[in-house]
Homo-oligomer: A and B are copies of this chain.
Amino acid sequence: MRNDLKQLHKEVKEGNFPALARGITIVENELNGYESLLLKLNENRRARVIGITGPPGAGKSTVVNALLRHWLKENKKIAVLAVDPSSPFNYGALLGDRIRMSEFYSNPNIFIRSLATRGALGGLNARIIEITDLVKEAPFDLVLVETVGVGQSEVEIAGLADCTVVTLVPEAGDEVQTLKAGIMEIANIFVVNKADHADAEGLYRNLRMLVHEKAHSGSKTGEEEIPVLKTVATDGTGIPELAASVTHYLDKQKDLPAKRLHLLADKCWQLIQAARMKDIDKHKLLADLEVALRTDDFNLYAFTKQFLDKTVTG
């Protein structure tokens, strides 16, 4: 097993797609040896991570596909991790793979993997950090992480990605002022997709106003304005400009994204919790609790204390 994993890790580093796919499956499902595989990774690999987020229906997948076509022409090697909230099971994600991959299926420079959200808070896969770390071992130029922006996931994607692209569509229209402050906080680049729609100009102007206000408000006076770009991803309009904007952002980036430490600290806390809770048998806890609950003098806090004492000594 150990030798197998060493071989697998070597193949991932060489850019072997089937090995990478198997590695992701191992990490995602915590299969035998996943921990020793994770211990081999280096968080600070060169490949940069680009987050593409936005509300459902904003055309994120279409933007991603258009970017892939653009970067392929520049001979870039790219991995796409698409977090698909449509199904609580893996079936949806697998189906997602096939649909997304139809165009890039046999392209040796594009690796695509759809991931189910698995009920993780806010819509990111619970193992997205580990999976991204593994993907970064392979010799990709860029790793795109596509995710539906829903609450918590926005903060997560901003911590995970070196550059976060927030994609919006005119339907969101004049109500952009009601956009959660969260989106303003995480966007490094705004994209108004479907810019050929009637209301696109209004959304564009509103966003421009918001990023202008943000750049010139409070303590951050003089900060560079967040770029707002228009695209029609279906026909490629504005995609070269978006790609250039992403590259520009990554080139001038001097430090880790502000939310990276926060994200990794949360993850670290979860890992410690998991390690500390490993010996707690959920089924035994439930069974013992069910019995105790029916006694007249039941006290939840005394029960918990006793359960813990038993676990420690037993």
Contacts and interface: CB of A to CB of B under 8 A. Distances in A.
A286 interface: yes
Interface stretch (A88-96, A100-108, A290-298): A290-298
A72 interface: no
A250 interface: no
When all copies of this chain in the complex are counted, the total is 2
Interface stretch (A173-181, A189-197, A220-228, A270-278): A270-278
Nearest to A267: B300
B41 A308 contact: no
A21 interface: no
Nearest to A282: B269
Interface string A238-260: 00000000000000000010001
Interface of A: 35, 38-44, 129-130, 133, 256, 260-261, 264-265, 267-269, 271-273, 275-277, 280, 282, 285-286, 289-290, 293, 296-305, 307-308
Among all A-B residue pairs, the 10 with the closest Cβ atoms? A38-B301, A276-B276, A43-B298, A271-B304, A39-B301, A268-B304, A265-B286, A39-B302, A265-B289, A44-B298
28 contacts: A35-B301, A38-B301, A39-B301, A39-B302, A39-B305, A40-B299, A41-B301, A42-B296, A42-B297, A42-B298, A43-B293, A43-B300, A44-B296, A44-B298, A133-B300, A256-B293, A261-B286, A261-B289, A261-B290, A265-B286, A268-B285, A268-B289, A268-B300, A268-B304, A269-B280, A271-B300, A272-B285, A273-B273
